[in-house]
């Protein structure tokens, strides 16, 4: 079954009344927005509290602020995934792999309703991302960057 085909299939479709995928995604979006706002408030409060006594206090304050910002960025990434899944839901593409077009297994969607790829395509995407990161770091193709780990015979 291809995206947009609502004729049935093994994966529970989110467009049925028994399926709460859209409801879950909307609730998750609201929850993440609340968490992001709370974290932003924590950053503002930390900046306003701001009596820094010495270098150690400053270092601790900066580390705490950095941790809060890291959490905000993580939550924003999660929010982007949820919103993308909502878009796919409204376009009738939810539950289908965005790379190969095959149905994503129901169990995978139950565990992670925001996924947009089947396991095989996700693994390929992650491997490609690792290769790109390696190329950026070393300026070499992935295989050449790891050549020093290959023993000579």
Domain ranges of the chain: 1-117, 118-153
Q: Which two tokens stand for residue 5?
A: 């085909």
Query: 112 φ, ψ to 5°?
Result: -140, 80
Q: Between the CA of residue 80 and those of 8, 25, 84, 89, what are the distances in Å?
A: 28, 11, 6, 14
CATH label, 1-117, candidates 1.20.120.910, 3.40.50.720, 2.40.110.10, 3.30.70.260:
1.20.120.910
Q: Do 116 and 97 touch, CB atoms closer than 8 A? A: yes
pLDDT at 151: 47
pLDDT per position as a tens digit, 18-44: 358 899 999 999 999 999 999 999 888
Q: How many residues are listed for the chain in this entry?
A: 153
Global pTM reads: 0.68
């Amino acid at each position: 079954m291809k995206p947009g085909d609502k004729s049935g299939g093994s994966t529970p479709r989110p467009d049925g009344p028994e399926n709460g995928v859209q409801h879950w995604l909307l609730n998750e979006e609201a929850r993440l927005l609340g968490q992001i706002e709370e974290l932003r408030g924590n950053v503002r409060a930390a900046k306003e509290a701001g009596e820094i006594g010495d270098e150690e206090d400053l270092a601790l304050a900066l580390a705490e602020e950095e941790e809060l910002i890291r959490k905000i960025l993580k939550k924003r990434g999660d929010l982007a995934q949820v919103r993308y899944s909502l878009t796919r839901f409204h376009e009738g593409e939810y539950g289908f792999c965005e790379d190969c077009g095959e149905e994503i297994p129901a169990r995978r969607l139950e565990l992670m309703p925001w996924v947009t790829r089947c396991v095989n395509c996700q693994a390929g995407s992650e491997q490609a991302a690792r290769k790109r990161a390696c190329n950026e770091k070393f300026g070499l193709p992935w295989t050449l960057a790891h050549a020093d780990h290959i023993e000579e015979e």
